Amino acid sequence: MKSQMTEEEIVKGCQAGKERCQKMLYDRFSSMVMGISMRYAKNRDDAQDIFQDAFVSVFVSIRHFKFLGSFEGWVRKIAVNSAVSWYRKELKERTVDIDMETDVPDVTVDEELPFSESDLLEMVQDLPSGYRMVFNLFAIEGYKHEEIAELLGCSVGTSRSQYFKAKKSLKKRIIEKYKQVEI
């Protein structure tokens, strides 16, 4: 048997229930799915729950994949849907997010920011759940507010408001972080 299998061969092997192919698929897509999970989660434990749910869904649903589009896109969509489902479950267990209405000055930074991608990920993870979900779906995944409203079971106005508040909060956090690094 070949040492390098194509994506199509791996998917067909998974559809046939071959464990070796399932492992290869997991190895190939685990970092992407974890990246998505981390963006939507508040912490690593929650991200691992989303990650695990996503892969369970991938392996349960793979028999329905028809090779009509990108397999990576299909896996990405399952990971995002797992995050949305996780959020809905969490929302039922919580009450209301704290409103983060604060004035943030307009600042333009012409140079590269002196903090890392992991710092930015942490800032996104620190957003209240509603803000984080809408920000990720709109800014990262490219969903429209109408689609987000339908996914999350809220109004279009709520989606827009949550996105505006997320951007405002992130801007404030970036400015605070930038000032700390300057000192």
Taking the domains of the chain in order of start, what are their residue ranges? 1-94, 96-183
The total of other beta-carbon atoms located within 10 Å of residue 91's CB is 17
DSSP state for residue 107 in the 8-state scheme: -
User: What is the rounded average pLDDT of the residues 25-33?
Assistant: 96
Q: What is the pLDDT of residue 106?
A: 44
- Taking 70 as the threshold, does the pLDDT of residue 175 lie above it? yes
Which overall architecture, per CATH, does domain 1-94 show? Orthogonal Bundle (1.10)
pLDDT (tens digit per residue) in 114-162: 567 778 888 888 899 889 999 999 988 889 999 999 988 889 999 999 9
Spell out the long-range contacts of 170-174 with Cβ–Cβ below 8 A and sequence spacing 24 or more.
Answer: 170/123, 170/124, 170/127, 170/135, 171/104, 171/107, 172/102, 172/104, 173/123, 173/126, 174/113, 174/120, 174/123
What is the assigned CATH class of domain 96-183? mainly alpha
% of the chain exceeding 90 in pLDDT:
56
Which residues fall within 8 angstroms of residue 134, CB to CB, at 6 or more apart? 148, 152, 159, 162, 163, 166
Report CA torsion sign: 21, 27, 29, 30.
positive
DSSP state for residue 141 in the 8-state scheme: T
Q: Do domains 1-94 and 96-183 have the same CATH topology?
A: no
pLDDT (tens digit per residue) in 59-75: 999 999 999 999 999 99
pLDDT (tens digit per residue) in 34-58: 999 999 998 899 999 999 999 999 9
Q: Take residue 17 and report the two structure tokens written for it.
A: 């229930």
Residue 149 amino acid letter = A
> DSSP readout, 94-105?
S--PPP------
Average pLDDT, the chain: 84
